[in-house]
Amino acid sequence: MSADLAARYREHLDVLGRGTAAVLAAHDLDALVIAAGAPALKSRFDDQHWPQIPTPTFAHWLPLPEPDAVLVIRPGARPHLIRVASDDYWELPARAESDHFWDSFEVIEVKTAAGAADHLPRGRVAVIAPGDLPFAPPGPVNPPALVAALEQLRTRKTPYEIACIAEASRRAVRGHKSAAERFAASQLSELGLHLDYLAASDQDDADTPYKNIVARGSHAAVLHWVTYDRRPGGEPDSLLVDAGARYLGYACDITRTWVRGAGAAADAFSALVDGAPRPENRFLRNTSTIEAGQVFTIEPGCYVIGALLAPLADDDRKDLLDWRLLDALRPFGGVRIEDDVVVTVDGARNLTREAWAETAA
């Protein structure tokens, strides 16, 4: 962790503290209790737990992937972090990726998750929790208006948060570039390309912000293809990789599409890849007012999906489509290009394109 990023973190906490204090005052509250969440069993027939993903409100304050951790926020006071001192020899939580945040919190260790109750405030308190708590909550849990106000704080990113997303983008780009090279030069299966992406981005599968979408050929027309084929592809062929990375709890979301091989169909699909973003496609699936500091994914896509095209072939719209071209493109599945973009006061900053330019393959 660079000194610059550590300083940005302190500024981030200052901004977050002021914003949270204003929210609590507006809701006539003196304190806020934020639970990271309990460990979740993979199934009721299993004794293994999923890796801990803290509730977003908790992660907004610090990058600690520990189950049963609790934050206590009082305006004007140093935040308290309550941790369970685990002596479990079956499983241990993941270590924090950095130690830059510890000095910003008053750390209290308890022997059990229920022990956090002895250190919680009373009175006008609300609780943010992703599920059942191991103690009686000291106030209402997840009041909708309060949750909405706290979520609104996350819509405008601080310089610290943007720096974290930028670093996550660099990690992901290393994975994308490696997968593209292996696709162009070899006959790796979808599973092989998925594993190559993880290795190049230095992640375990559980570390990724979502399950990688790695789709070759017609599989790219399935928007969330995660059942990786173990067979190598032929030529011509396409590859769509929708995969991200995390850094200090912040994620990026990047998609790229590639094609290899020769022939009219491959050339037509390649032209589609190169020309997907068009100036006339200026609209977002967004209903809020766009402000500086917000981050959006911009992801134009074009897919040849048989189930959606079939009805068009049977009515008066059939002559609007070039069915010969669609049939030629069908084996390639579809195209998606996705960038992460920060809104600035004078335009936008494309974090994905920056990372692509900076990162060596």
> Domain spans of the chain?
3-153, 159-358
Are 110 and 82 in contact by the 8 Å Cβ rule? The answer is yes
Give the DSSP letter of residue 277: S
Are 167 and 247 in contact by the 8 Å Cβ rule? The answer is yes
- Exposure string of 233-259, with b = 16+ CB inside 10 Å and e = fewer, is beebbbbbbbbbbbbbbbbbbbbbbbb
pLDDT (0 to 100) of residue 46: 82
Nearest-CA neighbor of 248 among 355, 99, 85, 119?
99
Whole-model pTM: value is: 0.93
Architecture of domain 159-358: Alpha-Beta Complex (3.90)
SS3 44: coil
Residuewise pLDDT in 10s, the chain (361 residues): 678 989 999 999 999 999 999 999 999 999 999 999 988 888 888 888 888 888 999 999 999 999 999 999 999 999 999 999 877 777 788 888 999 999 999 999 999 999 999 999 999 999 999 988 999 999 999 999 999 999 999 999 999 999 999 999 999 999 999 999 999 988 799 999 999 999 999 999 999 999 999 999 999 999 999 999 998 878 889 999 999 999 999 999 999 999 999 999 999 999 999 878 666 666 667 778 899 999 999 998 999 999 999 999 888 989 999 999 999 999 999 999 999 999 999 999 999 999 999 986 5
CATH number of 3-153: 3.40.350.10
CA distance 20 to 16: 6
Residues in the chain: 361
Amino acid at 240: L
Are 15 and 158 in contact by the 8 Å Cβ rule? The answer is yes
CA distance 318 to 361: 44
Nearest-CA neighbor of 359 among 166, 187, 129, 218?
166
Instruction: Write the CA distances from 298 to 45, 221, 229, integer angstroms.
Output: 41, 19, 28
CA distance 277 to 338: 10
Block residue for tokens 């304190």: 31
Facing residues of 334 across strands?
303
Facing residues of 156 across strands?
none
The two tokens of residue 330 are 């069908």
pLDDT (0 to 100) of residue 360: 67
pLDDT (0 to 100) of residue 82: 97
pLDDT (0 to 100) of residue 283: 63
What φ, ψ does residue 267 adopt, rounded to 5°? Answer: -65, -40
- For residue 1, the tally of other CB atoms under 10 A from its CB is 12
By DSSP bridging, strand 339-344 and strand 295-298 are antiparallel
If 0-12 CB within 10 Å is exposed, 13-18 middle and 19+ buried, where does residue 186 land?
exposed
pLDDT (0 to 100) of residue 164: 97
Strands of the sheet with 339-344, listed across from one edge: 295-298, 339-344, 347-350
What φ, ψ does residue 123 adopt, rounded to 5°? Answer: 100, -135
